[in-house]
Structure 1
Amino acid sequence: MAKPLPAPPDTFAPSSDSVYSDQFGFYTLDSKVPGLSQVILDKLKMKDYKDYRAALEGKGKVGFHSHKEMFQNMEDTFKFCACCSKLPSSLPDPRALKRCIKCLNVYYCTKECQRKDWSLHKKFCSMLHKVSIDRLVEWLVHTGDLPFSTEVWSRPAKDIRCWDDWLSMQGDLTSRLEPVLSGKNMTDLWTNACRPRPEEAELRDSLWRVCSEFFSRALSVGLGIKMSHLDPYSRPLTIHLVGAGHNETLGARTTDMDELSRMFPGHQGLEVVMVGPEVVQGPIMRPPLRAFGPRGRVYISAFKGLYHQFWEEVIERGEAAKPDLVVGFHPGFHASPGLGEGWLPTLLLLRDFNIPSIFTMYNNAEMENSIQILIELEMDVKDTGPNPFSSQKPEQVQSRPNKPPSHCNAFYIYFQGALETQQEEE
């Protein structure tokens, strides 16, 4: 039997050796901006990490009196000096912290800090302006305004090699974006966002960037199907999405992977099982299928736990199908001992059962470090490179905003089984 999943700590105690990526994220924030994690918890009206985990697991609530309070509290978590990392609570006058008037995304505690940081900040100021818009517009995914509806693919999946190809099949997006731009939720957003509403052209571009991140997940799964030469028209396929967390499952809907049905119209059936210790309760939290259901449909299910636990407790008992493909979005096993330890049984399982797998990475450095770990585990790494369906939404490092941006699913590693070695003749 698999070991039981470690329980989250009773109090807020960020550490570098947790199997929970969000706890490791808190640790990273505090190591760069001491106290920032507690600011985030305070703004979420939570006492400690236990409250945070409970809320994500549907056992607690994040309560705000108004949208204005929600957006203001979110903005407050970005309020620290980008140069010296001081929080407002560390300043004689917290109001001395001033925002860059160009990007509206970074703060400085003094003119001296702003001047000192300008040679670096000017490289990223325009990009950070886009980030500041996107993180607010992303709220429209949770209201249901986004993503916009898409069309059945008019060309075979093998011929769609990049976003330009995909967009060429969608036609004019104006009729799908205009209702969002003029809708009540967009108006409410900028009425309460504590900053001026951007120009319509900026908002239109932001809508596309936010949607690209949403669609990037399904298209990256489709990329894995194509790379592993699976034929969804000849039989049903089962895809396991390992290491799934709140990014994929918070507010997830059973239709979130339907782009796969437009990618492979008339397929025999696709099931996507989201597996991970940070899976969030919701409509997708339902048992995997033993035998696949309706043709031409994507069925999303979920299991809360580590992948090797899922394998031993569900698959080996015949309660779910073995995967045709395993996908991982930003596994992070390169980042800390705890995450690596949590992933090790999974990686060995994928290797020993010879399962085609594709993992995505935020940037080239993450890809290179992950490749090295896979090579050390004697994995057969078959292909790597930039993902043609990378998210177009730039991501800033919250605690270090003046760094090159990353993008979700920007790179991929495709691997399968163990690397064959030549046996020396005696």
Structure 2
Amino acid sequence: MIRVHANGETVIDWEDWSAPLRQFAHASGLVVSAYDAHARRQIGPLHSSRTAALLAGSTLWREGGAGALLEQELAIQVLDHGAAVAASFCDALRVCAMPLTRFGKTYGVVVYGWTLSDFSSPMACDRIARQVGLLGHALWGEVRLESPVSDARMAVLTALLRTLVDSSDRHREAIAEVNRVNRAREQFLATVSHEMRTPLAALSLRLELMQRTMPDLPDAAKASIGMMRKHVAQETLMVNDLIDASRTLTGQMSIERKPVSLGQVLHDAVSTVEINAHHKQITLQVTPADYAERVIIEADGQRLQQVVWNLLLNAVKFTPEGGRIALNVRQEPRHAVIDVIDSGQGIEAHDLPHVFGAFNLQKQGNDTGLGLGLYIARHIVELHGGTITVTSLGLGHGATFSIRLPLAAA
């Protein structure tokens, strides 16, 4: 995996490379190592043959050993030129190296091989053994029991390793590009949202001043100003949703939890939507009648009120005139449960899994919003250690949103 720090530095998670390279080493019988952009070994040597196991117990691949120095030299050549190279150790063991690249830039090297291309001899084994501190006859005893790796077979194994490396690097390129796009989107949302909030606030204030200080305006002008204030308020809500969404995406949204009365939170949320329900002649019923005011929870009252208000506002928006909305509260041994039930248009089964997604805008009967309200609501509830779910029997059968929140400790 490749991570990019805030300062733009690319960091390679070499642990993510261990598994595929280990599998290749076991399947091919080759010895495999990986080096970073500074020619420092990060993985290996990985091996599976008895000969390689004997060599691993020698000085060959230890720091400063002849094999380690040869691998490092090959890694430096690959990093300098960006191309595969090969060499031999004691004119017998074949060693190869190939680059790891991302977006055309070499960030590491895979060194592999340490095999004989033909049947060896006791003299060749003795020559190798003297270089690494082994007994020649011990090395010969292992080498003569293993088949050499011919040039043709080595070419096939190199092609397989090249395919493994390229596919892994292209996969990592795709992940890095997706992460870059996500970061750009989050930064764009945050910047644009904040830049839009200031002029909207100024416009709202000027319209309010006009209504207060210019009472003699014609009725048509007053109606136009009132309509403009309504549109500005809608735009402000959408900007606030964008800001909350950007904070959610960047992990910057936080809550301040303290003991609060659930009844007070619910009462404040209901009071903000009662006028909307009244205009559509929708019956809004709360059970119990005291809004469960004695139920105490650890919560950010303002943020939780935002969640309930959003659910109630959606219920009003998607419930036809003369419909019914119920806000039911019940207390369980460790949780408080809030149900918002409406007799509105309902949700189709294939849409239910996507209700709480970002920018998931319900088109039917909805002429405002960005589709962020339920996405933000879910995040706020989860910050409280709770859950929010939705059920519906389908179009025309209404919907039920349920919030479960942990109770405050006694």
TM-score range, shorter chain: under 0.3
Structure of greater relative contact order (alpha carbons < 8 Å, 6+ residues apart): 1
| Bigger strand fraction | 2
Which has the larger helix fraction?
Answer: 2
Q: Could you say which structure has the larger radius of gyration?
A: 2
| TM-score for both structures, normalised by structure 2 | 0.24
